[in-house]
Amino acid sequence: MKANWKLIGSLFATFLRMGPLTFGGGYALIPVIEKEIVEKRKWLQSEEVADIVAVSGSVPGAVAVNSATLIGYRIAGLGGALSALLGIFLPTFVLMIGLSLVYVQMKDNPKIEAAFLSIRATVVAMIVYAAIKIGKTAVVDFATGALAAVAVCLLLFGGSFVHPVWVIVFGALAGIAVVKIRALLGRKTKLEEKEPVYDYMI
């Protein structure tokens, strides 16, 4: 299949703009991905972004980098994956070098400390917002709501001995079990039946 260089270039430019916004880790980037990829560009749907973030968090590597690579691949294949990866990585790499030099010189400055404290508080708000957005697409019935509640309890109260990867594995196995039980009872699972239509045009 012939590469769509215009789409690949647009992916690079989009993630290049996102790169400087990755303060606080990849989960803080989710609202930006939602706005750019889902709402503005309409390349993917919210459900797909939620699935990609879940997979990205369950494999080694930074969530932001993994998510960008998977999104790029989903939209434009291998070329899209490479362009999204470079786009998300380059500005972060340059910024980290610059910020490291500045922080070493000014780490004891009260204004700098106050700025970083405010950034951390803002990042928490962005992560909560991302959780709510993804939750709306993931919690669709009582079963998924119960699974989400159990997962939150495991992370909150078992964080010292329960690795997040095992929580994800538990969710996957529980989901399969729920589908099989409902099938045996003759009940349908609430899934998205409509075939999604994607807008890959720039």
| Distance (Å) of CA 76 to CA 126, 163, 201 | 28, 33, 11
Could you tell me the residue ranges of all domains in the chain? 5-109
Distance CA 23, CA 175 (A): 33
Q: What is the pTM of this model?
A: 0.64
One pLDDT digit (tens) per residue for the chain, 202 residues: 466 889 999 999 999 988 776 665 667 788 888 888 998 999 998 888 888 888 887 777 788 889 999 999 999 999 999 999 999 988 888 888 887 887 777 767 787 778 778 877 887 887 788 778 777 777 878 888 888 888 888 888 886 788 878 888 888 888 888 888 888 887 766 554 444 444 444 4
Q: Are 143 and 44 in contact (CB under 8 A)?
A: no
Distance CA 74, CA 80 (A): 8
